[in-house]
Amino acid sequence: MDSERKKTVYALVGPSCTYKSKIAIELAEKLPFEIISADSRLVYKGMNIGTSKPTYDEMKDVPHYLIDLVEPGSDFTVGLYKRESEKLIKDIFAKGQMPLFVGGTGLYLNSVLLGLSIPEVKPDMSFRRQLKQYTQEELYKNLKDLDPKATEIIHPNDNFRTIRALEVIYKTNKLFSKLKTMRELPYDVLWVGLTFKNRELHTKLIEKRAFAFCANGLIDEVKELQNKYGMLDLFKRTIGYAEVIDFLNNNIKLEDMIEKITLHTRQLVKRQMTWFRANKKIHWVYLDELGYEEAFKRVFNLMQEGSLAKTSIASVS
């Protein structure tokens, strides 16, 4: 297929707390977008407040996909995300609409929009239970001994992906890093990123959101999730939920909980930006330089200019 005949998939990406969902919904009110979430936590039902999941009212007028797919405790792999997303892209194009990926999970985005081929290996719960007896430091060292290149893309503290990489090596008898390959995409991708140049301003926004989590009922949400599903590893490795669990177990005070949510979100932002900086195709829009309204106009113009759809495009006022 010639590049000029390819349709375009759109991506609005960036680290946590950069108004991605809000801007995406406003874009979809002016352009023929349907939104595909690229957030590894929004797939889980009941995890709403601490993930900043769009509300029903926010989503009712704009189609959203890959949100509230599975119960916490269910395994949702990158391979499954990739398969579901590729099907959605075809379905959305078939309706004459345009797919807009929105989120900050770099591995999800890369698997679909950079043509990253992910090995289809089913989770082995017995093998995972065996690995639980080892510390993360021991597991990571084991992975580094087996597949040094895999540790270049997996953070030393990322227990979930460390175990997943070891699981894939064990099940396939092949290096995890060797199983990931790139392929040419049947569509073009327009990448737009939202972030801050001024880290202090971003940190203030992150801290404000941490306070809002508590005011909006995050503690009660965590209690309900624990009562329904028990103490899942998913909760312990999700920012917001892990800190509330520590608070409920009387390990930290309320003010310390908010401080830790802020700190851990800042650390996540740093990891997310490491992913995104490697992608030189992203057009960055800096919220602190432009302000929200001007940033929205800039994103809108980038999306409009990149559109290859045979449809009338609205103008932003």
Domains along the sequence of the chain with CATH: 7-116+188-305 (3.40.50.300), 119-179 (1.10.20.140)
Cα separation, 60 vs 95, in Å, equals 18
pLDDT at 309: 39
Cα separation, 176 vs 265, in Å, equals 28
Report the pLDDT averaged over residues 251-267.
96
**Cα-trace Rg, the chain:** 20
pLDDT at 72: 95
- Lowest-confidence region among 33-37, 183-187, 285-289: 183-187
Q: What is the mean pLDDT of the chain?
A: 89
Helices (H) and strands (E) in the chain, counts: 15, 8
| Other beta carbons within 10 Å of 289 | 12
| Other beta carbons within 10 Å of 72 | 20
Cα separation, 161 vs 140, in Å, equals 10
Torsional sign, CA 154, 155, 161, 163: positive
Asked whether 285 and 194 are in contact (CB, 8 A), the reply is yes
Report the pLDDT averaged over residues 78-90.
93
CA angle 254, 255, 259 (to 5 degrees): 120
- Two tokens at 134? 């080892």
Query: Residue 237's closest CA among 36, 44, 14?
Result: 44
Residue with tokens 């992150």: 206
User: Quick check: helix, strand or coil at residue 275?
Assistant: helix
Q: What percent of the chain has pLDDT over 70?
A: 93
Q: How confident is the model at residue 170 (pLDDT cuts 50, 70, 90)?
A: confident
pLDDT tens-digit map of 281-304: 999 999 999 999 999 999 999 998
Q: Would the pLDDT of 130 be above 50?
A: yes
pLDDT at 275: 85
pLDDT at 95: 95
Query: 299-304: which pairs have CB atoms within 8 A and are 24 or more residues apart?
Result: 299/12, 299/23, 299/27, 299/192, 299/194, 300/27, 300/30, 300/31, 302/190, 302/192, 303/10, 303/27, 303/31, 303/190, 303/192, 304/31
User: Quick check: helix, strand or coil at residue 3?
Assistant: helix
pLDDT at 142: 92
Report the pLDDT averaged over residues 165-180.
82
Cα separation, 64 vs 28, in Å, equals 10
pLDDT at 176: 81
Q: How confident is the model at residue 313 (pLDDT cuts 50, 70, 90)?
A: very low
CA-to-CA dists, residue 108 to 13, 21, 84, 303, angstroms: 11, 16, 11, 21
Cα separation, 25 vs 22, in Å, equals 5
Q: What share of the chain is helix, strand, coil (3-state, %, to 5)?
A: 50, 10, 35
Cα separation, 205 vs 221, in Å, equals 22
| Other beta carbons within 10 Å of 23 | 22
What pTM was estimated for this model as a whole?
Answer: 0.83
**Helix or strand holding residue 288 (H, E):** helix 287-290
- Lowest-confidence region among 24-28, 164-168, 195-199: 164-168
Q: Would the pLDDT of 221 be above 90?
A: yes
Beta bridge partners of 8: 188
pLDDT at 303: 93
Please give, one letter per residue, the 3-state secondary structure of 203-243.
Answer: HHHHHHHHHHHHHCCHHHHHHHHHHHHCCCHHHHCCCCHHH
Higher pLDDT, 134 or 101: 101
pLDDT at 171: 84
Sheet of 283-286: strand order equals 64-65, 33-37, 98-103, 8-13, 188-195, 283-286
